[in-house]
Each structure stands twice: as structure tokens, then as C-alpha cells.
Amino acid sequence: MIRVRKRESRRRFLALAASATLSVLSSCGGDTPSIGVQPSGSTSVRSDATPTPARLLGILPLPAPPSPTSTPVPIVLRFAHWETGPAGQALTDLTQSFNRANSSTIVQPEVSSFGIHFQNLQQSFAAGNPPDVFVTSGAFFDDQRQTNALVDLGQRMTIDGIDLTSFWSEPIVEPINGQLYALPLWAAVDLVLLNLDRLSAAGVDVPVDGWTWSTYLVGAQKATIGKPGEISRWGTLIVNDFQAGWGSFITTNSGHWLDSNRHLSFDRAATEALRWVADAMLVHHVAPTPTEQHALTRGGTLDPFLSGNVAFFPTGTWEIPAALAQATFKWDVVAMPRATASGNSFALGSVQPGALAQKGQQIDLAWQFLTFILGRESQKRLAGGKIRLPALKEVAQDSVTGYSTTPPVHATVAVQAMANARDLQFTSNWQALRGDVVSALDRAFDGRISLDEGIAAAVLAGNVALAQTAPIGE
């Protein structure tokens, strides 16, 4: 009986304890969060609930439920450029490919026109919030470098074992005082587009490698339709500019526009080349003057080659994609004609540099993206449709899946020209220099002043520009 009474007392004690505990919990509002229907009709946790562990029968604590796993926030990498059309789409495709391969990253393109792009860069450098990676230009590179806006890539190149000799190059993507500030993303080189239908109708033989200024002039004369002042179809058109204009004529004639001190100074060979161009416009009337070019292209809105108005068109490789997509006539490409005196055929070539901002937020990730664009598959994407001449030589030279595939028939001309190209000799304040030179020579090519006067005016204004430092976006 004593044992029985003890058991009964123990059971009674446990029951009383449980009852008291539940009573206390109830009077305190409860340890577990209260769930109720809110005025909006939704069910939610009351704001005054105390999130302590639940209890089994009000006595034994249960472990709190695990916190929900938060979704990782992707890292945003800012990538600035100015490309639109097929080139812009190619860069979009590359950013999406990089995003798929790096799920924790989102490459965010920042696209604007060429001029606005560099104005934005200048402002973002000053404000300390530039894009992480961006496409730059030789026209602004020297100014960016001198203001310490760019990351030195030299050590990263060494660590990753990237061989610069595998890519087309020019001074802006080569080490400067032991430091490397940009890498070549793609390339461009001057060549001549041919309207084969126009040449055939005029009885002009299709030029081949080795043709000269003399054969070029004869062919342009035959292909020109109409007399001076009434010309309906031109034999050729030569733009008043360094690249894709008279620059390659100077280079082919072994001339220079900068002296050993990097002052503007057209030497004798350069002056001869400019005179040949001026004579094509003002003496032989086979090429339109700058004023006539403005009318022919309707202020730059009509492509003179695609419209069928020009038989020989010295230009750059960037014109090829449009010809592939839009030309309604047979066409091909050929190397720049050789200078009659020198026998040379050296075209101007350049690379489009990519760089990292010194004050960028994601320098390591930006480096990964930059080298991704340099990879073989990315370079093949740029080569498709001849969108851009790849900077990676092996893709440019590939005649099966790379840039050297047909059409056009002589697509390899671009690669051959780039292999022997001369650079534009970019300077600080290049855009101002270029603008002053073109403005002075416009008057000479229009016949308003003599060529000698035009060259003198260009040299004077150009050297003033070289002595100044302009904002990067100007």
C-alpha cells in the first residue's frame, strides 16, 4: 500500500505540474507565435509573437525550425561599349554566354554612341564609379593612361600565360615602360571594296594583288560616268581622313605625318600621296571632293558603295558585314594599290583595345570576362558574318570556320593586309588633332585653297592640338 500511494502521489504531482504550466503559458500569451487572419485577408505571424522554441505538451522544448536559405545575390559586372547592329548583338551573345558559365555573375552592358561613351567614361573616372571593363580607342587611350585610369594587366597576363604574339597588335596594346594597359579585342585594316558589276560594264580588269596607283587611276577613269559637274557614277571615293582615307596612301608611299619628335609634319612622301589624292578629285575628276561626297552620301546617311555609286572604295574591314548583308551586285575585296614610286602596299591597321578601370569594383571578375572575349570561341563569334576581324590570329587565318572563309572570294586579303599593316600613331589629344587636320585639308581637296596651303594650315593647327591636353571624352 505504501508503494501504491507513492505512485499515485507521483502521478498526481506530474498532472498538477502540467496543468500549472499550461495555465501559466496561457496567461502569458503563449511561447509559440500566434497565427491570425489579417485585415487584408492574408494569414501572417503576429508582430508581438515571441519566436521561442515550441514545446511538446507545454513541457519539453522542440528545436526551432531552420532559417530559410537565402538566395545568393549575383555579382554585377559593368561592361561599357558603343557597338550596335551585328557587332552589338555579338557582344550581347558573348555576355550571355559568360553569364551562363558563371551563374553567380551578371554582366551588365552599358551601351551608348561613340562620343557619349567616352564622355561617360570621363565623368565616371572623375566620380570614382567607372564601368569595370570597357572597350576603348586609340584616340583616347593615351589620355586615359596618363590619368591613371587603367589597370596594369602585365602580371595577370604572366600568371595566366597569355601570349600577346598570338594576337594582332599595335603600340597601345603593347607594354609601355614595362606596364600593359589594354588587350586587343578585334582588329581592322584598310582595303579596297570592288563593285565587280561596275568594273565589268566599264571593261576594267579586276585588280589583283600588286596593282598600282597607275592602274587604279586608269580603272577609275573608265568606271566614272559623266563629265565634271555632271557625274552620275564615280570611279572611286577617297575619304578625307587618316583611317580608311588618305592615311593608307601615305603609308604605302613610305610617308609619315609625325616626325621623330612626334610633331605633326607631313614629309615629302606624305605630301606626294596627298597630292595624288587631290589630283584624283580636282584634276582627273574620278573621285568626289568633300563637298561632293556630302551630297553623294546625303550628309552621311547613304552608303556610297552599297548604293552602287562607287566602283573602287578604299575603306576598312568594318564595311564588309554590310556588303555581305545588303549589296545587290557582285563585289569583292583587294589590297590597297602599291605606290608607283615605292612599290609598297602597306595599309593602316588597328586593334580595338579592351581595358579595366583602376577604380572598378570587380577587377578580378572583369579580367575573367576580358580574357573570355579573347578566347577562341568568342573570337569565332566575332568572325561570323565578318562582323569583326578577330584579334586572335589563328581564328582570323582559319579558312574553314574562321574569318578567312568565303564570301567574299578574296577574304584572306584582310588577314594578309593586317599582317603587314602600319599603325595610326595615335597621340594624346588625337581627336582634336584629327579634326584640325581634316578641316584644313577639306578646303584643299575642295579646291578653295592650294594643297600646300592646306597642309601648312593642318600642321599649324594640329601641333597646337598636340600641345594641349583635352578631356578624355572630348
In sequence order, the 6+-apart residues with CB closer than 8 A to the CB of 323 are 193, 305, 306, 331, 408
What does each of the 474 residues of the chain score in pLDDT, given as a tens digit?
A: 434 444 444 444 434 444 444 343 343 443 333 333 333 333 333 444 444 444 444 445 556 666 665 667 899 999 999 999 999 999 999 999 999 999 999 999 999 999 999 999 999 999 999 999 999 999 999 999 999 999 999 999 999 999 999 999 999 999 999 999 999 999 999 999 999 999 999 999 999 988 999 999 999 999 999 999 999 999 999 999 999 999 999 999 999 999 999 999 999 999 999 999 999 999 999 999 999 999 999 999 999 999 999 999 999 999 999 999 999 999 999 999 999 877 888 899 999 999 999 999 999 999 999 999 999 999 999 999 999 999 999 999 999 999 999 999 999 999 999 999 999 999 999 999 999 999 999 999 999 999 999 999 999 999 999 998 654 444
Q: How far is CA 269 from CA 273, 344, 371, in A?
A: 6, 12, 40
| 3-class DSSP state of 317 | helix
Contact (CB, 8 A) for 80 and 134: yes
Closest listed residue to residue 240, CA positions, set 305, 301, 292: 292
Give the integer Cα–Cα distance in Å for 178 and 189: 27
311-337 burial code (b ≥16 CB/10 A, e <16): bbbbbbbbbbbebeeebeeebbbbbbb
Q: Are 389 and 418 in contact (CB under 8 A)?
A: yes
pTM of the full structure: 0.83
Contacts of 170 (CB under 8 A, 6+ apart): 138, 184, 349, 350, 351, 423, 424
- Taking each helix axis from N to C end, the angle separating 451-466 and 430-445, rounded to the nearest 10 degrees, works out to 170
Contact 60, 31 (CB under 8 A): no
Helical residues (DSSP H) of 137-288, grouped into ranges: 138-146, 154-160, 196-201, 213-223, 247-252, 268-282
Omega before residue 408 within 30° of 0, cis:
yes
Q: Dihedral through CA 357, CA 359, CA 365, CA 369, nearest 10?
A: -10
Three-class secondary structure of residue 62 per DSSP:
coil
